[in-house]
Chain A
């Protein structure tokens, strides 16, 4: 029996992405029609019942977010779609943006209707230049067909979507950094409070959701919130797009019902990862992006849903699954992760800027066999301070991968102190300088 499910990806590859006719022929815009005959609060209740957890990585309950924004006074309200997709190992928003852009626009328009907002923004990362052009074509088609723009479907309701380009900053995927970037500033996150729902884009109340989250909204309205929830598990409904990469036979995007598969299925089932190539063994897997924890073979039978994973100290995050085989040294890998956060830190707060730098230096020492016992204490202090004192999610979760490895594979670190890591001894990488 197939473990995959084609809900969000049903139209992908089957339609011309910017064709409204194709989209409608495959059930598109029926949710928008339905929504515009409902009370906004009714729609919000459907989203709450659907138990849709944010698909960008933070997994914040979307229904709760919508309800909070609804109760805040102030006009105008803005709808913003986070299409910055910078989390390494994540390429699922790309699939939706490229292959079914109108579903995202439909979700945004429904949100616009709920909040009586007339302007939506989609912030697409600068590296997805061709996708920006394609998305603009989709917007233009929708406007021509009266599903966007002025007087949508003759209702008098107006909703415009503007594309704003990024320019290469992972931190712009952080919602307040993203809003700053739209406002022609640098993408350094804002001081919170006040929160974005109150003081968002141009200081107005704002909704920010991920691409996949918006794509879920038409599905929720079409089948009803309860039905959407029942596709998943009790506290997390619907399907999730997962992205497999690394040392696995089938790399790519797959759609799974939440809780419908285990980690073992994702990595080894021929429908998904198909196992490790070249006869290698699984060493570990990195879930949810660089800011997620690393899981190990002993945890493979965990169900892939938010609560089950959390019990194991793991998380869904963005849906990324990077598979590591036994030719990868965990310390080397952690060094790469640390290098990423060091490079992407906006730099304004001390724990993240200096902490990431020090952490990278310590991991570099481990990688080159120069670390000592004292470095465990350093890492512990850094991990504690960055997690509790950093200004935004980047610093706060930069050490998640490190923490999971210290918990489950402390012996790998010890092996490096003792100079006996088998992977490194086998394939010594010399001449690797500090990045900074």
Chain B
């Protein structure tokens, strides 16, 4: 079979002629005429597995039914997507899956958001001709970030694709044969004893309730209900362009104002912005970079704001830990500042402060409880909620999100520059850093604040700048598979960069494991665009020009990388390669 994307192929689908490029799948071709062939294992960003067999169609050239996800128009005759044979086979397959699935939708994490549930409803399943064979399986819950409930697994294999092919973490894989075919870690260990870095990409693609984040919403309700606590919240940049999707807004819609309003209605005492501490991170990290360049420190320096990435280095490349910036992530810097600078300034006893962060990320749940994240003398960030958990709380409170007014963040930790906002997308940290480092080194404003070389969705991006004789060669990457490529380069001594930005999740935080379900590469693009728009709309677009940041230094921290800054805003790492 010869595929030539320049050649067009015409087939008939349901009697309608369809002309598409050679190499198009039947599923994609059907979409062009408004037919959505259902599937449980297919995902546009993952390799085709054809495990579930739900996407079957009839083909006049074959006596068997064909899966639409992997069969191409080049080898297809006349396709029927909804014949009696297709309905009979599809119904039987759904019943077979449901015969080996718990029937507790009402109590399930994915109630209302489950692809199996939706398909069963769409296919009018009203009973099951087959006997129930389902047996419960103990959940793997002994880590702070994820829950693995293999009793609900329908063996679609999406999580294995995400973990092995996309992230190359290789924490989970297939195992066994026949009815023992399952998805597990090596030697059935819990996640906490596997190479898992809690990036949550597996959660993001799971169609059912087999993988999900630990639900910390009750802890937040408890804190909000506690009159003795001052509860403040910080929101990551990537949340504001995704939270709207949970309430029917456009993909990537900028919902900052409504998000702030919702948080206030929920009862947070102060609504702050992680974009503020992102600016802070630029101050600390920019100066750290220049210091390493000037004084022969370990180069290339690699960003450290992505906790999944930090976990990965600790577990897989511990020899390269000296390359990782000592800066904490914006989330953790915020917590430290909130419970010291802010608490002291407002006369709030530190132990009464309760810091919640809303993150697009599941690994942040692990990060916040690392023993060293207690610069204030207490756990700097108490609870991390994902974008999805915030949506849960908003719904529970009965708020009509779209109806809420636009509100502003509180001061003094709520003002973030445009540079802080673009942290949420791959290339954003680098661009934000350059906007500041440029002026620090040359003493001048750059001609344009848009360093578009940092933007775009290639796996590994490179850029080169000359800052008055100081060459800065940078690399930007997202997804751990790409990160490995750069790490191997460093090990081989071939990485001639000064600075590398690594984001654990493909596309950066906009595609984080805690974002609304059914995130795809296409949807990430919209969210990315949203963040660059937020940046454009900000009057201040450089971290060092943020007046609240300037005040923080003049009143409290002194200089970037000062002794106090090191105590509160910098951290150290561990070799965790024995697991």
Report if A and B touch in the complex (beta carbons < 8 A).
yes
Binding site for B on A (CB under 8 A): 169, 171, 186, 188, 191, 193-195, 198, 342-351, 353-358, 361, 374, 377-378, 381-382, 384-385, 387-391, 396, 436
Cβ contact of B92, chosen from A198, A345, A347, A385, cutoff 8 A: A385
Of B69-77, B229-237, B294-302, B446-454, the segment with at least 4 beta carbons within 8 Å of chain A is: B69-77
Q: Does B56 contact A (CB under 8 A)?
A: yes
Cβ contact of A388, chosen from B1, B52, B89, B174, cutoff 8 A: B89
- In the complex formed, the residue of A with least CB distance to B47 is A191
For chain B, residues 36 to 80, give those with C-beta under 8 angstroms from any C-beta of chain A: 48-54, 56, 64-65, 70-72, 75
Whether A354 lies near B96 (C-beta < 8 A) is yes
Whether A350 lies near B89 (C-beta < 8 A) is no
Q: Does B31 contact A (CB under 8 A)?
A: no
Please, which residues of chain A bring their CB within 8 A of the CB of B178?
342-347, 353, 356-357, 436
Please, which residues of chain B bring their CB within 8 A of the CB of A377?
129
A194 CA to B180 CA, complexed, in Å: 28
Please, which residues of chain B bring their CB within 8 A of the CB of A378?
129-130
Cβ contact of B89, chosen from A344, A353, A384, A391, cutoff 8 A: A384
A270 CA to B53 CA, complexed, in Å: 49
Cβ contact of A193, chosen from B65, B72, B99, B129, cutoff 8 A: B72
A195 CA to B155 CA, complexed, in Å: 25
A193 CA to B129 CA, complexed, in Å: 33
Whether B71 lies near A193 (C-beta < 8 A) is yes
Main secondary structure of the interface of A (DSSP, over half): helix
Cβ contact of B181, chosen from A343, A348, A374, A387, cutoff 8 A: A348
Whether A350 lies near B99 (C-beta < 8 A) is no
A169 CA to B177 CA, complexed, in Å: 9
Whether B53 lies near A390 (C-beta < 8 A) is yes
Whether A358 lies near B174 (C-beta < 8 A) is no
- In the complex formed, the residue of A with least CB distance to B88 is A384
- In the complex formed, the residue of B with least CB distance to A171 is B177
Whether A350 lies near B52 (C-beta < 8 A) is yes
Nearest-CB distance from A343 to chain B (Å)? 6
Please, which residues of chain A bring their CB within 8 A of the CB of B49?
191, 348
Binding site for A on B (CB under 8 A): 1, 48-54, 56, 64-65, 70-72, 75, 85, 88-89, 92-93, 96-97, 99-100, 129-131, 133, 155, 157, 174, 176-181
> How many residue pairs, one in A and one in B, have C-beta atoms under 8 Å apart?
116
A195 CA to B75 CA, complexed, in Å: 12
Whether B64 lies near A388 (C-beta < 8 A) is yes
A198 CA to B1 CA, complexed, in Å: 8
A361 CA to B129 CA, complexed, in Å: 13
Cβ contact of B65, chosen from A345, A381, A388, cutoff 8 A: A388
Whether B53 lies near A389 (C-beta < 8 A) is yes
Please, which residues of chain A bring their CB within 8 A of the CB of B75?
193
A353 CA to B176 CA, complexed, in Å: 12
Nearest-CB distance from A70 to chain B (Å)? 16
The 4 closest A-B pairs by CB, nearest first: A347-B181, A354-B96, A385-B92, A388-B65
Please, which residues of chain B bring their CB within 8 A of the CB of A358?
96, 99, 130-131, 133
Whether B179 lies near A347 (C-beta < 8 A) is yes
Cβ contact of A381, chosen from B64, B88, B131, B133, cutoff 8 A: B88
Given contacts A355-B96, A388-B65, A390-B53, contact A186 B133 (CB under 8 A): no
Nearest-CB distance from B579 to chain A (Å)? 24
Write 30 A-B pairs (CB below 8 A) sorted by A numbering: A169-B177, A193-B72, A193-B75, A198-B1, A342-B178, A344-B177, A345-B178, A346-B177, A346-B178, A346-B181, A348-B49, A348-B155, A350-B52, A350-B53, A351-B89, A351-B92, A351-B93, A354-B100, A354-B179, A356-B178, A357-B133, A357-B179, A384-B88, A388-B56, A388-B65, A388-B85, A389-B89, A390-B53, A391-B51, A396-B64
Whether B180 lies near A347 (C-beta < 8 A) is yes
- In the complex formed, the residue of B with least CB distance to A192 is B70
> Of B1, B48, B75, which is in contact with the most chain A CB atoms at under 10 Å from its CB?
B1
Given contacts A347-B177, A351-B93, A436-B178, contact A381 B129 (CB under 8 A): yes
Whether B129 lies near A350 (C-beta < 8 A) is no
A139 CA to B155 CA, complexed, in Å: 43
- In the complex formed, the residue of B with least CB distance to A194 is B1
Nearest-CB distance from A373 to chain B (Å)? 13
Please, which residues of chain B bring their CB within 8 A of the CB of A384?
88-89, 92
Nearest-CB distance from A85 to chain B (Å)? 19
Please, which residues of chain A bring their CB within 8 A of the CB of B130?
358, 378
> Of A342, A346, A348, A389, which is in contact with the most chain B CB atoms at under 10 Å from its CB?
A389
Please, which residues of chain A bring their CB within 8 A of the CB of B131?
358, 361
Whether B93 lies near A389 (C-beta < 8 A) is yes
Whether A385 lies near B89 (C-beta < 8 A) is yes
Nearest-CB distance from B66 to chain A (Å)? 9
Nearest-CB distance from A391 to chain B (Å)? 6
Please, which residues of chain A bring their CB within 8 A of the CB of B65?
388-389
Whether B179 lies near A186 (C-beta < 8 A) is no
Nearest-CB distance from B207 to chain A (Å)? 13
Please, which residues of chain B bring their CB within 8 A of the CB of A374?
129
Given contacts A388-B85, A388-B89, contact A353 B179 (CB under 8 A): yes
Please, which residues of chain A bring their CB within 8 A of the CB of B177?
169, 171, 343-347
Please, which residues of chain B bring their CB within 8 A of the CB of A388?
56, 64-65, 85, 89
With A345-B179, A350-B54 given, name 13 new contacts (CB 8 A).
A171-B177, A188-B174, A345-B177, A348-B155, A348-B181, A351-B96, A357-B100, A357-B178, A384-B88, A384-B89, A384-B92, A389-B65, A389-B89
Whether B174 lies near A191 (C-beta < 8 A) is no
